[in-house]
């Protein structure tokens, strides 16, 4: 039997891994569950990803692209004013992110926080931070950009962990304080 050429198989496996994690958490992830979800032979998952850490790394990298793309597509990159304008735009981006499906945000953070226990994921988690800092550094200095990313991470984690609603007014105020250099 001839081998079927399937250039999208790796992508389908990553997408399937994200669906498995969304449904069952990282604890539910295995080559077998991903192969079943992707409707590919088990050997395909191990061919493309020799370990679960490799598969998680690819899933985290894909997940990271979502928020970084939201920042790149927003007025954060286009605007020139700082202060309230930057804080307003970042608040808008976060508000839109939270207005979407909460499960997608939870998935992204579950993968992001998996780096605490899986050292192989740490460089990819750091890539997300560096990507966001790079985008924001077009509007402010790198140290302030890093502080803004840390604050946005903190706000997102608080909302996710407490189950509370995203508070745009509070977020805007805190982001403005960071941008303006207030304590």
| CA distances to 112, 148, 161, 162, 171 from 158, in Å | 15, 15, 5, 6, 11
- Does the global pTM surpass 0.85? no
What is the model's pLDDT at position 96?
87
Note the pLDDT tens digit of each residue in 56-66.
Answer: 999 999 888 87
* pLDDT surpasses 60 at 81: no
Using CA atoms of 24, 54, 110, 171 in order, give the dihedral in degrees to the nearest 10.
-150
Average confidence score pLDDT of the chain = 88
121: left (phi over 0), alpha (psi -120 to 50) or beta: alpha
Band of residue 1 on the pLDDT scale cut at 50, 70, 90? very low
| DSSP 8-class letter at 5 | P
* Chain centroid offset of residue 160 CA: 13
Note the pLDDT tens digit of each residue in 106-129.
Answer: 888 898 899 999 999 999 999 889
41 neighbors 35 (Cβ within 8 angstroms):
yes
62 neighbors 130 (Cβ within 8 angstroms):
no
What is the model's pLDDT at position 104?
80
CA distance 19 to 47: 20
With tokens 């077009």, the residue in question is 138
CA distance 89 to 79: 9
Which residues neighbour 123 within 8 Å (Cβ) at sequence distance 6 or greater? none
* Chain centroid offset of residue 178 CA: 22
* pLDDT surpasses 70 at 44: yes
Q: Which of 19, 4, 102 is nearest to 59 (CA)?
A: 19
Share of the chain above pLDDT 70, in %: 92
């Amino acid at each position: 039997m001839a081998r079927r050429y399937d250039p999208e198989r790796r992508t389908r496996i990553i997408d399937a891994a994200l669906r498995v994690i969304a449904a069952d958490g990282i604890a539910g992830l295995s080559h077998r569950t991903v192969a079943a979800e992707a409707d590919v032979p088990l050997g395909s998952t191990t061919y493309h990803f020799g370990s679960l850490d490799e598969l998680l790394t690819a899933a985290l990298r894909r997940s990271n692209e979502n928020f970084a793309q939201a920042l790149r597509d927003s007025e954060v990159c286009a605007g020139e004013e700082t202060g309230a304008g930057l804080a307003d735009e970042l608040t808008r981006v976060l508000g839109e992110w939270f207005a979407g499906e909460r499960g997608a945000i939870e998935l992204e953070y579950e993968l992001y926080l998996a780096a605490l226990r899986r050292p192989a994921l740490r460089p990819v988690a750091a890539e997300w931070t560096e990507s966001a800092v790079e985008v924001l550094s077009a509007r402010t200095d790198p140290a302030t950009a890093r502080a803004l990313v840390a604050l946005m991470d903190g706000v997102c984690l608080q909302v996710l962990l407490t189950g509370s609603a995203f508070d745009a007014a509070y977020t805007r105020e805190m982001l403005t304080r960071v941008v303006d250099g207030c304590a």
